[in-house]
A and B are shown apart, each in its own frame.
Chain A
Amino acid sequence: MNPFTSTQPASDQTATGGQAAPAGQAAPAGQVTPAPPAAPGAVLELHDAAVRVGGSILWSGVDLTVGRGEFVAVLGPNGAGKSTLLKVLLGLLPTAAGQVLVLGQPPGRASHKIGYLPQRRSFDASVRIRGTDVVRLGLDGDRWGLPLPFGPRRRKAAQQVRDVIGMVGATSYAGRPVGECSGGEQQRLLLAQALIRRPGLLLLDEPLDSLDLPSQATAAALISRICREQGVTIVMVAHDVNPILSHLDRVVYMAAGGAACGTPADVITSQTLTRLYQTPVEVLTASDGRLVVVGQPEPPAVHSDRHAGGASHDHHAHPSGGAP
């Protein structure tokens, strides 16, 4: 249905974005894993997928194949259905059409192999549970019955919790009540919670959203390092591509009821986005390498409930990179 949804959209040599993408971009990685449709061992496979929210089709004709260990960003204006895509992958929302395979199975079957970080989560200051306990819930919080308070299994679980907390660098504050940790500290603990079962796929919904700029860079580097070192596939919803641009293998740009997929250099270009939006859109590159999308249409107010008070985000799909 949507002509711009192939996994390899026509590459765009002439537009500004194609040429001006910062050096050292992930384009080579995209070539290393060309990920043809129905590739054996693909972590994610969507064929002509569509989803219906509130009676109307939110997006349709989405084709996407993601291989093992890839770092994929899902971009697009608010209301385009980015978080909805994650919910479909988790099996929390059915597809209206098409085929979706997650880790080789229909969505929802492999939920124990998926780590998930929902959008804008923060613990109230009054929550009197340690960060360690929050991480531990990610390991076996969904099991019925009580854990034995002693024995080798308990020691192994405690070691796993310590290891994963060390991996995200949260050891110094994991023993404090989680409500007393800062937003960035909570985000790291929640990342540890999502990682503790060594998932094959990590779904992150705007994990950088509540962080200040230096924390965004640190967190992006941490997520990228986990992606490389653990070989885990990461699908990350972001409203600003710039903090993660240098780490990405592939982007999915969702807009106007469809999606364009490919390397950042292929997708975030004036030509591709103009075709996707079906209205003139320009991608500019700031002197520091940040990408700015100009002229994208106002998004439809589909998710107004979730974004109450967040109206200022509407123009921030790629905020102007004026700051040095």
Chain B
Amino acid sequence: MISPVINPVFSWNVVDDIRTMWAYPFMVNAFRAGAVVAIVAGVMGWFMVLRRQTFAGHTLALSAFPGAAGATLIGIAASYGYFAFCVGAAAVIALATRGGRATGPASSRVSESALTGIVQAFTLACGLLFVALYHGFLNGTTALLFGSFLGITASQVVTLAATAAAVLAVLAAIGRPLLFASVDPDVAAARGVPVRALSVAFLVLLGAAVAETAQITGALLVFALLVMPAAAAQRLTARPAASLLLTVVIGFLVTWAGLTAAFYSPYPIGFWVTTFAFAVYLAAQAVQGLLRLATPHLAGAPA
């Protein structure tokens, strides 16, 4: 990043370093926004990893790019563009693939991923068009793709927090049947759980979560917060509540560490958050490997 005002130096006196950072209101906003985004992305990402809908999630993340570019083109706040395109793409995928997640034979799963891929290619093409139409936009494109924490306003933080609260409230209401439908769709349907409606609702919520996350990490690196904390936590424990909590904690720590590193270094936020998240994932893999060595009955996973 371009360091603001001065070139801050990390002193390893953590309290002083944090005080230095938080003296800048834009950094306080960035930390607040980062915390909100880490929680939402962690929780939604946990369900996404469990449901193996990462391709749909990736497509929603990429549609953040044309959203922001289009909003800039017509002269409105980028946030509106993020939400309009991510949630819109989610609705399209959900309806076109009748829930976005086939439980039936392999052939319908193929058509589902093909449809998702079509949406992905088209949204990216839209983004390219918007950038081409908006001459002199090129500097901002990097920030849209790879993230930036400069210039997050207090009102943006409020918007992020309100959306996050809405997403989490809906998820709390539908979380248990959603888990049932994700793990065991046939039995859930037999028990009267509206499996297809839940799939649609989940994708729309995921679109909102992605739109939030993209404002910090950029469209391309949304997965750093959406996938990696959840994947790492699910390596470490198979207890749903514990791994969900662990996901949020990992996402939160990774985001704040990334913000700190970006502030004190010349390198961008997206790189740091992704690198820290990747490191945590590798560490989780290593811990799981060690656990398996320690408890031999887990090592012989049947085919």
Report which A residues bind B (CB closer than 8 A). 90, 92, 108, 111-112, 114, 116-118, 121, 123, 125, 127-130, 133-134, 137-138, 140-147, 149, 176-177, 179-183, 190, 193-194, 305-306, 308
Contacts and interface: CB of A to CB of B under 8 A. Distances in A.
Contacts of B104: 305
Given A137-B179, A183-B302, 18 more contacts: A92-B190, A111-B191, A111-B192, A121-B186, A123-B183, A125-B301, A128-B238, A128-B243, A130-B239, A137-B187, A141-B184, A144-B174, A144-B176, A147-B176, A180-B298, A180-B302, A190-B187, A305-B104
B174 A129 contact: no
B278 to A, nearest CB: 19
A146 B302 CA distance: 33
A118 B187 CA distance: 7
B191 A142 contact: yes
- Tell me what chain B mostly uses at the interface: helix, strand, loop, or mixed: helix
B105 A305 contact: yes
B176 A145 contact: yes
B172 A143 contact: no
A304 to B, nearest CB: 10
A305 B108 CA distance: 11
Given A140-B176, A141-B179, A145-B176, A118 B186 contact: yes
Nearest to A112: B191
B190 A116 contact: yes
Nearest to A147: B176
Interface of B: 50, 104-107, 172-177, 179-180, 183-184, 186-193, 234-235, 237-241, 243, 297-298, 301-303
A118 B179 contact: no
A143 B183 contact: no
A187 B302 CA distance: 14
Given A116-B190, A127-B183, A137-B183, A308 B105 contact: yes
A138 B193 CA distance: 12
A283 to B, nearest CB: 33
Contacts of A138: 187
B176 A141 contact: yes
Nearest to B239: A130
B298 A176 contact: yes
Nearest to A89: B190
Given A111-B190, A142-B191, A129 B240 contact: yes
Given A138-B187, A180-B302, A145 B193 contact: no
A180 B93 CA distance: 32
Given A118-B190, A182-B302, A144 B240 contact: no
B191 A141 contact: yes
Residue among B104, B177, B187 with the most chain A CB within 10 A?
A: B187
Contacts of A118: 186-187, 190
Contacts of A305: 104-105, 107
Contacts of A112: 191-192
A219 B213 CA distance: 48
Contacts of B234: 128
A53 B261 CA distance: 61
A137 B184 contact: yes
A190 to B, nearest CB: 8
A143 B176 contact: yes
A92 B194 CA distance: 12
Contacts of A133: 183, 238-240
30 contacts: A90-B190, A92-B190, A111-B190, A114-B190, A118-B186, A118-B187, A121-B184, A127-B50, A129-B50, A129-B183, A133-B183, A134-B184, A137-B180, A137-B187, A138-B187, A141-B177, A141-B188, A141-B191, A142-B177, A142-B191, A142-B192, A143-B177, A144-B173, A144-B174, A146-B175, A180-B302, A183-B302, A193-B184, A194-B187, A308-B106
